[in-house]
Amino acid sequence: MKRFADAGALNPQVDEVVNNAIDKRQFSDITTPATPDTEYSIEHGFGTPATGFIVILQDKAAVTYKGATPWDDDKVYLKTNVATVAARILIF
């Protein structure tokens, strides 16, 4: 069995994302709006703005991206380029 060497210390920004993802994360099951590229929000309730998101699962080929509204202490704002996509999104 091949073993991998320790990669050493990560970049400080990567460390912050990884640590934040461990402490604050939420999976949200959503269906995107019926009109493509319409901004929608997902509540996370972290008390601080989220750092990012990852689409874990979706039922259609689509791209989900950050919306124009700045993220706040309770919500992220996203857009998806295809209508009514059922998706699971990890917010961290």
pLDDT digits 0-9 by tens, 12-52 = 666 666 665 555 688 999 999 999 999 999 999 899 999 99
pLDDT score of 25: 80
The set of residues, in sequence order, having a beta carbon less than 8 Å from that of 75 and lying 6+ positions away, is 41, 42, 43, 44
Domains of the chain: total: 1
How many of the other CB atoms lie within 10 Å of CB of 80? 26
Asked whether residue 5 is assigned to any structural domain, the reply reads no
Asked whether residue 53 is assigned to any structural domain, the reply reads yes
Residue 8: band (very low, low, confident or very high) from pLDDT cuts 50, 70, 90:
low
Say what the pTM is. 0.75
Domain that holds residue 86: 25-91
Asked whether residue 1 is assigned to any structural domain, the reply reads no
pLDDT score of 10: 57
Q: 24 exposed, middle or buried (CB, 10 Å; 0-12, 13-18, 19+)?
A: middle
